Amino acid sequence: MLSRQWGTKEHRDWLIEDAGQQFAFYRGSLNPDGGFDYLDDDGRPLPDQVHELHATGRMVHSFALGHAAGLVGDTVMIDHGLDALWNRHRDAEHGGYVWSFGADGQVADGSKLAYGHAFVLLAAAGAKVLGHPDADRLLDDITEVIDRRYWDAPTGRMREEYARDWSEISDYRGMNANMHSTEAFLAAFEATGERLFLDRALGLIRFFVGEMGAANGWRLPEHFDLNWQPDPDYEGNPMFRPAGTTPGHAFEWARLAVQAWDLDGRRDGDLLDWAKSLYHQARADGWKPDDGGSVVYTVDQQGRVLRDNRYWWPVTEAIGTAAVLIKTGEDLAGDYKGYWDSACAHFVDEDRGGWYPDQHRDGVQFSGKPDIYHSIQAVLFPLVPEISGLTRALEKVRG
């Protein structure tokens, strides 16, 4: 049986092996006509699909990590993704980046979402750390778009969404887009050293975690109205805006808070305390030992399960957060092993590579193996002793 114990050579060797299998599997997603395809269980492109902005950005980010670690020997996937962001998603007429384009290269959905733009910044930051020649133009452009269209300076938060021509399409405000913007701002600070990015991330953490978390029993509200009042009755897209609160997001916010604490010189101990509170509440609400153990999708504000779907990404976020908290001295090795037991029992495909997205594989929410972003970070975070600066830290594990 493979070792899932934190810190052992056997476990480290397995992590590197799985990462290599993931990168090999998802290389097959490169579509020669532009962008990346979603793949079925065997690595074949799924039919009749569009190329979505968050998926393009995530692929660039993930393969930048792989290249830094020496697990990917070339920049073909990074080059291809940056080209798709610049020449397919970028809207030369109106500015910003459209949500998706089709097989013909034409815009399929011209919506402009803060969520998607966060992944453009994340991709640009990763490319910048690698010294990619196309990184600066993308980083400059996406930073200008975020500054002009999304960043609401009076509140210190991100606006949510627009039509292609930047007309307002809703007054919804969401935690998820701000969480991934926090991730992107931290990465941009790591890539550039510009303090503005870190300050924005810290401000978002203080609101969504320090203020909203503490006021709601460390169960984070997901949905807000125009005035940033929580909207507990809201229910939208089941993938991006489900009703209730999401333990997987609480795990993710906890990791981001620890990384921000580290990047800021470990000056504000509240960030670390908030992260621990979030982690333990998310585990209490989300981790269910039944059916081999996994994390439920959503719960209500009292911690009662709303959606009992068992997806791969909350487990990967639990792994990543446990890893960074262990690095701060927390005794979570038992939790960490349990998450890996769950991942290997339900999600990891050791034969073909890649991870299944749904424990029960019913095809309702996900088809095939649509994503590398969550699963690759789960295997890479534990490989380095550093808490933040993953791309540069991985350069030390080359060879």
- Is this structure's pTM higher than 0.95? yes
* The amino acid at 22: Q
**Alpha-carbon separation of residue 167 from 110, 162, 190, 396 (angstroms):** 12, 6, 33, 46
User: Closest by alpha carbon to 64, among 178, 191, 193, 177?
Assistant: 191
pLDDT surpassing 90 at residue 398: no
Average pLDDT over residues 225-241: 93
The 10s digit of each residue's pLDDT in 364-376 is: 889 999 989 999 9
- Region 320-346: mean pLDDT is 97
Among 61, 80, 249, 346, the active-site one is 249
Contact 94, 85 (CB under 8 A): no
Q: How far apart are CA 354 and CA 320, in angstroms?
A: 17
Q: Output the CA–CA distances (angstroms, integers) from residue 194 to 22, 43, 125, 201, 232, in the order listed.
A: 33, 39, 12, 12, 36
In this predicted structure, what is the pLDDT of residue 2? 61
Q: What's the rounded Cα separation, in Å, for the pair 153 and 133?
A: 31
Digit-coded pLDDT (tens) for 269-298: 999 999 999 999 999 999 999 878 999 999
Our measurement of the distance from residue 61's CA atom to the centroid of its chain's CA atoms, rounded to an integer in Å, reads 10
Residues 391 and 190: beta-carbon distance below 8 Å? yes
Q: pLDDT per residue over 119-130, tens digit each?
A: 999 999 999 999
In a domain, 1, yes or no: no
Integer Cα distance of 389 and 192 in angstroms: 12
DSSP code per residue over 368-387:
SB--SHHHHHHHHGGGSS-S
- Could you tell me if residue 36 is inside a domain? yes
Domains held by the chain: number: 1
Mean pLDDT of 232-240: 90
Assign 397 a pLDDT band (cuts: 50, 70, 90).
Answer: confident
231-237: list long-range contacts, CB under 8 Å, 24+ apart.
Answer: 232/301, 234/172, 236/172
Q: What is the pLDDT of residue 229?
A: 97
CA distances from 273 to 154, 206, 209 (A): 27, 12, 11
Q: Is 346 inside any structural domain?
A: yes
Q: Please, what is the average pLDDT of the chain?
A: 96
The confidence band for 1, taking pLDDT boundaries of 50, 70 and 90, is very low
What percentage of the chain reaches a pLDDT higher than 90?
94
Is 2 within the bounds of a domain?
no
Amino acid 85: pLDDT:
98
- Domain assignment of residue 3, yes or no: no
| 374 part of the active site | yes
Domain membership flag for residue 320: yes
- Give the three-state DSSP class for 353: coil
Q: pLDDT at residue 171 above 70?
A: yes
Q: The domain that contains 302 carries what CATH number?
A: 1.50.10.10
| Domain range for 102 | 9-397
pLDDT mean over 206-227:
98
The answer to whether position 35 is within a domain reads yes
Residue type for 286, please?
Answer: G
Backbone phi, psi, residue 171, to 5°: -110, 20
Count other Cβ atoms within 10 Å, centred on residue 270: 15
DSSP string, 264-313: TTS--HHHHHHHHHHHHHHHHHHEE-GGG-EE-SEE-TTS-EEE---BHH
How many other β-carbons are positioned within 10 Å of the β-carbon of residue 221? 21
Structure tokens at 179: 């969480």
Q: Could you give the C-alpha distances from 261 to 87, 184, 382, in angstroms and in order?
A: 36, 15, 18
For residue 204, pLDDT over 90 is answered with yes
The pLDDT tens digits of the residues spanning 32-89 come to: 999 999 999 999 999 999 999 999 999 999 999 999 999 999 999 999 999 999 999 9
DSSP code string of 196-264: HHHHHHHHHHIIIIIIHHHHTTT----EE-TTS-B-TT----TTTS-SSB-HHHHHHHHHHHHHHHHHT
Instruction: Report which of 259, 278, 271 is spatially closest to residue 197, judged by C-alpha positions.
Output: 259
pLDDT at 238: 87
Percentage with pLDDT > 70 across the chain? 99
Q: Which helix (H) or strand (E) holds 68?
A: helix 53-68
